[in-house]
């Protein structure tokens, strides 16, 4: 059992070290030798856990998919599209949506794994169609489509425009947060904007009743 734990720990260390290097230098610029060197192990030792760099990358993406779904579930929000889970969307509310937006912003800027994944995709989005598609899925078109589904489920008109207006400050503040010595000001700005959005959306829903 002890040996199994050591094997698992090494596999996990490889995953995290590779992601850190991908986030700092870009996926294409990092070699298996770079990853092994950063860990102080041989390439042969690394290959006992992963077949190649691509295998490491696919494990990172798989982990991100799992964590993304867990994050939505923890915040009581649907993890898929409106067409796939209408009941879950009907249970959503403005307050839950605002809490989820705040939670996701902190997740993408403060969680070590999610933050590194976001930085990797930001670096690589124009170098690879695959990376560009992942960037859109997690950080651009995907979140907008998700918010559009939420606004549609609330019965609010012009759901697409509302989704873009809602998500745009978050998208901008990711970069502001990245460039700041600490992200406190960006977080405070995001929280203030979310409170304004909460009041505005609840007022609009009241007016529709």
What are the residue ranges spanned by the domains of the chain?
60-208
Percent of the chain topping pLDDT 90: 87
Residue 5's pLDDT is: 44
Residue 1's pLDDT is: 29
Pure H helices in the chain: 2-25, 32-39, 43-47, 53-74, 86-90, 94-110, 112-124, 129-139, 141-153, 159-179, 184-208
Distance CA 88, CA 158 (A): 21
Work out the pLDDT band at 3, boundaries 50, 70, 90: very low
Chain position carrying tokens 């996701």? 104
Residue 7's pLDDT is: 55
Q: Model pTM?
A: 0.91
The answer, yes or no, to whether residue 121 has pLDDT greater than 60, is yes
User: Using one digit for the tens of pLDDT, what is the confidence trace for 30-78?
Assistant: 999 999 999 999 999 999 999 999 999 999 999 999 999 999 999 889 9
Distance CA 111, CA 33 (A): 27
- Kindly tell me the sign of the dihedral angle through the C-alpha atoms of 70, 75, 76, 81: negative
- Of the listed ranges 44-53, 147-156, 175-184, the one predicted with least confidence: 175-184
């Amino acid at each position: 059992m002890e040996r199994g734990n050591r094997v698992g720990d090494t596999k996990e260390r490889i995953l995290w070290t590779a992601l850190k290097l991908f986030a700092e230098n870009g996926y294409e610029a990092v070699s298996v030798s770079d990853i092994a060197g950063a860990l102080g192990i041989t390439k042969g030792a690394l290959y006992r856990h992963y077949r190649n760099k691509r295998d490491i990358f696919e494990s990172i993406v798989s982990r991100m998919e799992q964590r993304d779904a867990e994050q939505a579930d923890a915040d009581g929000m649907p993890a898929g599209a409106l067409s796939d889970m209408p009941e879950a969307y009907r249970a959503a509310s403005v307050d839950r949506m605002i809490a989820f937006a705040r939670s996701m912003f902190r997740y993408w800027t403060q969680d070590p794994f999610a933050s590194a994944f976001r930085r990797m995709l930001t670096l690589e989005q124009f170098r690879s169609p695959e990376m560009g598609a992942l960037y859109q899925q997690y950080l651009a078109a995907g979140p907008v489509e998700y918010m559009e589904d939420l606004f549609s489920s609330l019965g609010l008109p012009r759901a697409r425009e509302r989704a873009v207006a809602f998500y745009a400050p978050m998208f901008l503040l990711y970069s502001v947060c990245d460039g700041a010595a600490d992200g406190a000001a960006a977080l405070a700005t995001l929280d203030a904007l979310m409170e304004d959005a909460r009041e505005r959306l609840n007022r609009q829903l009241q007016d529709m009743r």
